[in-house]
Each structure stands twice: as structure tokens, then as C-alpha cells.
Structure 1
């Protein structure tokens, strides 16, 4: 197959320097943060803005920290990630699932079961992001937001080729296009929430709202 389903980009755009199983790369837990504190605060600010208190939140490609507001209570926070030890350490998760979205992009959740979804500094590692995002739209309530955040850091051998070929503005445009290609999001917007003055990691976001809970 020459192209990823739902994408106008060629398949090689989603290839990586390291195509060994992701489970091998993530075998050892990494109890570190991948952006600095001001950028983390920008992520938390976006979650304050878009995630409803008392809702059920999906933390996709999760780890040992979710960057949610400590003072806000949610009905539940479900984390899906690759490393069981990291997920077990995360104090905000009420349940977690270990799954490699690059081998199985389908989410093991019922339609319309979440009130918001966050994907933090991880979108660049998905080899079939359109299918994953379509699944996100399926499991979100109608009108619920997905908040996709990213910076200028990555594990270079695991990031997809197209990510390396683009600058920051190109990353925003790419993620917007991936959400459009998913076909079940509206009100898609790109945001620059980089801390000012620029003495820390930049922080960008793409936000969209699910137009329905299931196809």
C-alpha cells in the first residue's frame, strides 16, 4: 500500500529510522519529563481551558505524569501507553491500558465514553496517526476536545520522517491536517502557547472537537 488510510501523504512519510518493535525501545521506564517546567505549565493551562471538571479524560500515549491540574477532580482518568511501570506510577490515572498504537491503532473503549483527550509530546511517534485520531473521535463525546501538544524535542530515531522534514509551523499544519483527515473533528485550531519570554522549550498545540461519538 502506497499511502496511509485517510492521508494524502505517502507511506514513507510515516517511516522511522528505528523500525524495531516499540516495546523494545520503551522496555525501561523513563521517570523524566520531556519538556521543561514552563512548557509543562503551558500544557496544564490548555487542559484547564479545554477539559471539563468532573469529566472522564483519556490520556493517550501516557506515562508516569499526566500534567493535569492537581486541584481539579475528574470522574476518571484513563491512561494508555507502552510502559506498564510508568503507567502504574502515575497518580492521576484511575485505570490504565498497555498498548502499542503502532501495531494496533484501535482503542479498546466504547464509543462516546470520554469528555476530553490529551496527547502530550507523542503525536510524532505514530506511524498511522489518522487511524488513531479517528479512533479518538469515536471514543469522545460529541463536542469533546482533543488537545495535542508538542515541542521541538523528540526521540529522533522513533519520530516519523515527515516530522523531521518540517519546522515548528509545519508541525502545527501537519497535525491540523491529520485531524482533518480523520474526518470526525471540527473547530480545528493551531495554537502557540510557548512561554514568554522565550527562555524555555516552545509549546504548540492543535485542538479539535469531536463531531460525533461514533461512526
Structure 2
């Protein structure tokens, strides 16, 4: 695990709610009351240019037909499922942002409620772990109709690269999380190139991790972001052609795994 990453300098990245407590008295004594600004956006990370996409048509049009495919390989999925097993407690409430027909949650763990979100109802209806789902374009409307402090965990898998208003989305996630709730953002090097934002398309693996770290830092109240990496074997083909094929998901092999994790207000101590 690696943390304490320094901010990057990029032409696409800017360099410049009162909490309803659900904590018991022992938690309250260990954590100071949050300032009124907690959960609000402190600064914008992206420039206007950094938010642009090559395909300017509405995302609802792009995702209007279902894609019953797997967007990452088995190694990535196994790593992610193990991470969820480690970080998500059973019998809790989970919101799966930008989800699809596939669930990466451990099949043998029971959760109190799993709510899905996405842009294609057919895909979401096929996801066996969802109790119900919401169809919404987060690039047009970042607000959900759930009450504040509704979820113990929010997940976003291989989709953060498509957010044009990530600061507002992370602000909304903060509102939805219970104090001590976790937000896990995972991604690899694959993408729909024409739908990814410019700041992501033109970045490196390192800068993309830094970008997600800064999304967390842009909202007052998240804990220091933790970075988890699981990189493929260094002997894999690194030729320009191989890189291009992997970028578009046309070359088999190990997908690099990245996850950036932070908590609302504080990181709870979980029982083993």
C-alpha cells in the first residue's frame, strides 16, 4: 500500500452540511464535532478543458444499449473482491455507483442492502446483488434522492474516468455516507477512450491515481486517501502496439489494479 502522494502539476488540473451524527457516545468522545463546512467542496480539481470528452453526445445515448461484457480481467476482479471482503462489513448498506450487470462483491457475504446506479436499466436488472437500482446521468445531475447518512459504503468500479464533475459527485458521496463510512474507487488502464475526460486520457497511471486522490482532497471531511496497487508482471509486453491494444481492451493479460480509499470523518477500527 502506498499513501501520502504528492499533487501533480497538469494543465488539466487546478493547483490553486452539517453532519447528522449516528455515532455512539464513545465515538463522539474520540472525534471532535465536524465544522459546518464539512462535506463541502474546498476547491475545484479540474480545469474546464480537463473535463471535456471527445464524444460530446449525451452519455445516455452512448449507454442506451446494454454491454454484457467484462471490462477488466479475472485478476483485477479477484483483487477487487478480496478488497471488498476486507473493507466492507456484512449486514451493511452499500451503494454501487456506475454499476453494471456484474457484481464484484463477495458472493458469500450478505449485506443488508445493495443499491445500484448506472445508465442502462437492462444491465442493472441483470446484476444479481442489487436490491434495486437508480438510472441517472451523474454528468448532468449529481444529486440522489436518498437521505443523508444512508450508506455504510459507496463503491465506484472502473468508471471514475468518465466523471466530468467529480468534485460534486464526491461531495454527494460524502453526504450519503454515514460517519466512518468508506468510499472505494477502483480503476485500471482500460476505458472507453472517447468518453473519458481529457485529464484522464492524457494522463499516466501515476497521474490518474493522483487525480483521484485530489478528488477526495477537494471535499472537506474525507480522511487521508489510501492507495492500493496490484501491478502486472514487469515482463509483460510493453511495446507501443501492446500498450494501444491493452488500452482498448484488445490484448489479454493482467490488468493493473488501483484503488483509492477514504472514509467520512474517520477510519473506524474494524474487528478481525
Corresponding residue for residue 144 of structure 1:
181
C-alpha separation between the residues in 2 aligned to 1:90 and 1:195? 28
C-alpha separation between the residues in 2 aligned to 1:179 and 1:8? 10
Of the candidates 113, 130, 133, which is equivalent to residue 76 of structure 1? 113
Corresponding residue for residue 14 of structure 1:
51
How far 1:8 sits from its partner (Å)?
A: 3.8
How far 1:145 sits from its partner (Å)?
A: 0.7
TM-score scaled to structure 2, two decimals? 0.74
Aligned residue pairs, count: 210
Considering only aligned residues, what root-mean-square deviation do their CA atoms show, in Å? 1.7
**Alignment pair present for 1:43 and 2:97:** no
C-alpha separation between the residues in 2 aligned to 1:100 and 1:9? 19
> What per-residue deviation string (whole Å, max 9, x for no partner) do you get for residues 150-209 of structure 1?
000000000000001211111111000011102231131111033668651111010000
C-alpha separation between the residues in 2 aligned to 1:57 and 1:9? 28
C-alpha separation between the residues in 2 aligned to 1:171 and 1:128? 16
Corresponding residue for residue 200 of structure 2:
163
Of the candidates 129, 132, 141, which is equivalent to residue 104 of structure 1? 141
Consecutive unaligned residues of structure 1, counting only runs of 5 or more, are none
Alpha-carbon contact 1:59-1:66 (below 8 Å) kept: no
Consecutive unaligned residues of structure 2, counting only runs of 5 or more, are 1-12, 15-40, 237-252, 267-272
SS at match of 2:117: strand
SS at match of 2:189: coil
Alpha-carbon contact 2:164-2:197 (below 8 Å) kept: yes
C-alpha separation between the residues in 1 aligned to 2:134 and 2:170? 17
Larger radius of gyration: 2
SS at match of 2:254: coil
Alpha-carbon contact 1:146-1:208 (below 8 Å) kept: yes
Corresponding residue for residue 204 of structure 1:
258
Corresponding residue for residue 249 of structure 2:
none
Corresponding residue for residue 165 of structure 2:
128
